[in-house]
């Protein structure tokens, strides 16, 4: 063999081996991707990929979740999709049930008309709240065999892809009650609570109204809260249209309704995964928002050894930045070793070989906290030699709920936070809850400052990744007295960031 042919043979072998390796690795990679592309079976097949790139590309940016959806949840989602296909907008059943509503008909209990029943989610409140309440309404729909229809408001179609394969989740524009949605409030005479209070509703009558307005907003009163009692749920089960306005993640209290309990345990053997799974199932950024997310991720976060998310939400009237909040951010991240200390004496320390790069994604309406932190890590070296990059995608200064570009940024930032490895969030913020839930992360929570003072301790590890229900009922439906609903079962407890709130935690025997 000549040297030339020897080299050729080597080269061919090398190519073949490479080809083989590429094919082998490639096929393993793609099978891994396709395995997780549907998020462990959570997502249905049959969507057009191009119309919603995020649905199938998420697995390229997110680590595989350590929380698997139960097979029962998966089968329930598939049967929900069938129901949605049969009953969604403009289907025969939808048109028939709508006619009833248009004609103001009452529904006879024995009637077979309403093979399809609906829960209509009314657009209300900040984006974080909207995401949490859509998930709550969807779970309620699953539990009660209803179809969820979402009032598109000004932004839903711009932010989220359609989650169900064969029919839209958006409430059609010609829905007869839509013009009333803005007017629905605590005092609305046709809310379920007020009708009960004023004895207008006869819960034992033979005929029922074809719709009910459920006021589940944080200002709701005792009669509205009866929604969380079994005997009232029984009454709702015959009403074809339930119109729901809420700004709260009311899922924890559904776990306290005896008739839902067993089903919920089958759906979610790990109780702390409700929003994690439902959120990943329902909320896929539209292509426009996906561009915001992926471009940012690739430019600033992807290459780092560790990604850290810090979400700053300040509930104060005066515009910041506030010194006590900046002190709190530093105290928390340094004490909890999320970020390394800096050396203020030496001007330069050569980084040791083991140093790593940390990309910190900050989100906040204001610029000041980010500017401050970035300056600290620019002006001083870290004592570990770690290289710290601080990034903030936007600073919108104040909430601008009606502006599309504002909402897109907010959604992109919640999503980006959910792609981090370590998360620090602000107490009380639904924005932070969405990020932690989607990411499957138990964040460090910056406690809410009182009297403009940095809390001590500044933060603590959340016991769950679940959002907190900020305005739960404290009522024993059977005994008809007040009760502490955070003390009834081990998996529904008071939240750390809001002492009167309720959240879901795993039972100690839950298998993770």
Ligand X SMILES: Nc1nc2c(ncn2[C@@H]2O[C@H](COP(=O)(O)OP(=O)(O)OP(=O)(O)O)[C@@H](O)[C@H]2O)c(=O)[nH]1
Which range in 15-23, 175-183, 209-217, 426-434 contacts ligand X by CB under 6 A?
426-434
Q: Are 309 and 424 spatial neighbours (Cβ–Cβ below 8 Å)?
A: yes
Which range in 277-285, 321-329, 349-357, 424-432 contacts ligand X by CB under 6 A?
424-432
Output the smallest distance, CB 79 to ligand X, in A: 32
396 binds, among Mg ion, ligand X, none (CB under 5 to 8 A by kind): ligand X
313 lies in the site for ligand X, by CB under 6 A: yes
Pick 488 or 498: Cβ nearer ligand X: 498
Binding-site size for ligand X (CB under 6 A) equals 18
Pick 129 or 272: Cβ nearer ligand X: 129
364 binds, among ligand X, Mg ion, none (CB under 5 to 8 A by kind): ligand X
- Which token pair is 312? 């700053």
Pick 65 or 364: Cβ nearer ligand X: 364
Which range in 120-128, 135-143, 258-266, 402-410 contacts Mg ion by CB under 5 A?
120-128
Select the residue interacting with Mg ion from 54, 129, 270, 363 (CB under 5 A). Answer: 129
41 binds, among ligand X, Mg ion, none (CB under 5 to 8 A by kind): none
Phi, psi at 239, each rounded to 5°: -95, 120
Please report, as residue ranges, which positions from 427 to 456 form the binding site for Mg ion (by CB under 5 A).
430
406 lies in the site for ligand X, by CB under 6 A: yes
Output the smallest distance, CB 47 to ligand X, in A: 26
Pick 87 or 137: Cβ nearer ligand X: 137
Output the smallest distance, CB 407 to Mg ion, in A: 13
Please report, as residue ranges, which positions from 454 to 473 form the binding site for ligand X (by CB under 6 A).
none
Output the smallest distance, CB 132 to ligand X, in A: 8
Measured CA to CA, the distance from residue 424 to residue 390 in angstroms comes to 14
Select the residue interacting with Mg ion from 40, 41, 126, 460 (CB under 5 A). Answer: 126
Asked if the peptide bond before residue 109 counts as cis, ω within 30 degrees of 0, the response is no
DSSP 297-360: IIIIITTSSEEEEEEE----SS-S--HHHHHHHHHHHHHTTSS--B-SS-S--PPPTT--EEEE
Signed CA dihedral, 225, 231, 234, 236: sign only: negative
Measured CA to CA, the distance from residue 328 to residue 460 in angstroms comes to 12
Asked if the peptide bond before residue 457 counts as cis, ω within 30 degrees of 0, the response is yes
Output the smallest distance, CB 318 to Mg ion, in A: 19
Phi, psi at 107, each rounded to 5°: -105, 125
Pick 364 or 485: Cβ nearer ligand X: 364
3 state DSSP class of 444: strand
Output the smallest distance, CB 407 to ligand X, in A: 6
Select the residue interacting with ligand X from 162, 386, 413, 466 (CB under 6 A). Answer: 413
Output the smallest distance, CB 452 to ligand X, in A: 19
Output the smallest distance, CB 398 to Mg ion, in A: 14
Measured CA to CA, the distance from residue 413 to residue 410 in angstroms comes to 5
Select the residue interacting with ligand X from 58, 394, 420, 503 (CB under 6 A). Answer: 394
319 lies in the site for ligand X, by CB under 6 A: no
343 vs 346, 352, 377, 382, 405, CA distance in Å?
6, 15, 10, 6, 40
Pick 334 or 498: Cβ nearer ligand X: 498
407 lies in the site for Mg ion, by CB under 5 A: no
Which range in 19-27, 123-131, 138-146, 351-359 contacts ligand X by CB under 6 A?
123-131
DSSP 51: G
246 lies in the site for Mg ion, by CB under 5 A: no
Select the residue interacting with ligand X from 41, 126, 368, 389 (CB under 6 A). Answer: 126
Select the residue interacting with ligand X from 88, 128, 269, 449 (CB under 6 A). Answer: 128
Pick 97 or 364: Cβ nearer Mg ion: 364
Which range in 23-31, 92-100, 279-287, 360-368 contacts ligand X by CB under 6 A?
360-368
Beta pairing class for 444-446 and 481-482: unpaired
Mind spelling out the 3-state secondary structure of 141-187?
Answer: HHHCCCEEEECCCCCHHHHECCCCCCCCCECCCCCCCHHHHHHCCCC
* Cβ neighbours, 10 Å, residue 192: 25
- Which token pair is 260? 């839902």
Which range in 138-146, 230-238, 357-365, 474-482 contacts ligand X by CB under 6 A?
357-365
Spell 417-445 as b/e; 16+ CB within 10 A means b. Answer: bbbbbbbbbbbbbbbbbbbbbbbbbebbb
- Which token pair is 480? 């008809």
Nearest position to ligand X, beta carbon: 126
Signed CA dihedral, 410, 73, 493, 335: sign only: negative
Residues facing 306 on adjacent strands? 358
Which distant-in-sequence residues (6+ apart) come within 8 Å of 361 by Cβ?
300, 301, 307, 308, 309, 310, 391, 392, 393, 416, 417, 420
Residue 264 gets the label, from left (phi > 0), alpha (psi -120 to 50) or beta, of: alpha
Q: Which residues bind ligand X (CB under 6 A)?
A: 126-129, 313, 363-365, 394, 396, 399, 406, 409-410, 413, 429-431
Q: Which residues bind Mg ion (CB under 5 A)?
A: 126, 128-129, 430
């Amino acid at each position: 063999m000549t040297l030339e042919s020897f080299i050729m043979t080597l080269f061919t072998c090398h190519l073949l081996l490479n080809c083989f390796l590429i094919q082998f690795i490639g096929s393993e990679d793609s099978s891994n991707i396709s395995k997780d592309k549907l998020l462990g079976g959570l997502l249905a097949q049959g969507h057009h990929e191009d119309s919603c790139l995020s649905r199938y590309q998420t697995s390229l940016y997110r680590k595989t979740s350590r929380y698997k959806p139960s097979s029962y949840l998966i089968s329930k989602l598939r049967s929900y999709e069938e129901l949605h296909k049969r009953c969604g907008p403009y289907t025969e059943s939808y048109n028939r049930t709508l006619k009833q509503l248009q004609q103001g008909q009452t529904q006879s209990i024995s009637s077979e008309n309403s093979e399809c029943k609906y829960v209509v989610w009314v657009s209300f409140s900040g984006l974080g709240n909207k995401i949490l309440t859509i998930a709550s309404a969807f779970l309620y729909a699953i539990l009660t065999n209803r179809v969820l229809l979402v009032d598109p408001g000004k932004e839903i179609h711009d932010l989220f892809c359609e989650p169900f394969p064969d029919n839209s989740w958006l409430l059609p524009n010609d829905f007869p009650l839509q013009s009333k949605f803005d007017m629905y409030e605590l005092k609305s005479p046709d809310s379920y609570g007020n009708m009960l209070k004023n004895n207008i509703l006869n819960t034992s009558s033979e005929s029922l109204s074809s719709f009910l307005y459920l006021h589940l907003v944080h200002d709701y009163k005792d009669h509205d809260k009866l929604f969380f009692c079994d005997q009232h749920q029984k009454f709702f089960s015959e009403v074809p249209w339930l119109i729901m306005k809420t700004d709260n993640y009311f899922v924890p209290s559904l776990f306290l309704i005896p008739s839902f309990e067993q089903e919920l345990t089958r759906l979610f053997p790990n109780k702390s995964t409700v929003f994690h799974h439902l959120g990943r199932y329902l909320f896929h950024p539209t292509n426009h928002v996906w561009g915001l997310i992926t471009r940012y991720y690739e430019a600033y976060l992807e290459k780092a050894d560790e990604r850290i998310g810090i979400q700053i939400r300040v509930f104060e009237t005066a515009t910041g930045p506030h010194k006590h909040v900046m002190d709190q951010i530093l105290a928390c991240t340094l004490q909890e070793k999320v970020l390394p200390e800096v050396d203020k004496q030496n001007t330069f320390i050569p980084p040791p070989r083991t140093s790593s790069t940390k990309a910190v994604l900050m989100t906040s309406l204001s610029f000041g906290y980010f500017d401050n932190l970035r300056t600290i890590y620019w002006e001083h070296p870290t004592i570990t030699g770690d290289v710290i990059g601080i990034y903030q995608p936007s600073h919108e200064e104040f909430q601008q709920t009606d502006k599309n570009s504002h909402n897109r940024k907010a959604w992109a930032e919640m999503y980006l936070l959910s792609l981090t490895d370590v998360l620090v969030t602000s107490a009380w913020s639904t924005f932070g809850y969405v990020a932690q839930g989607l990411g499957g992360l138990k964040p460090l929570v910056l406690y809410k400052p009182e009297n403009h003072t940095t809390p001590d301790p500044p933060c603590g590890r959340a016991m769950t990744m679940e959002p907190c229900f900020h305005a739960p009922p404290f009522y024993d439906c059977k005994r008809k007295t007040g009760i502490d609903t955070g003390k009834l079962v081990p998996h529904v407890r008071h939240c750390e960031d809001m002492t009167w709130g309720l959240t879901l935690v795993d039972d100690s025997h839950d298998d993770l």
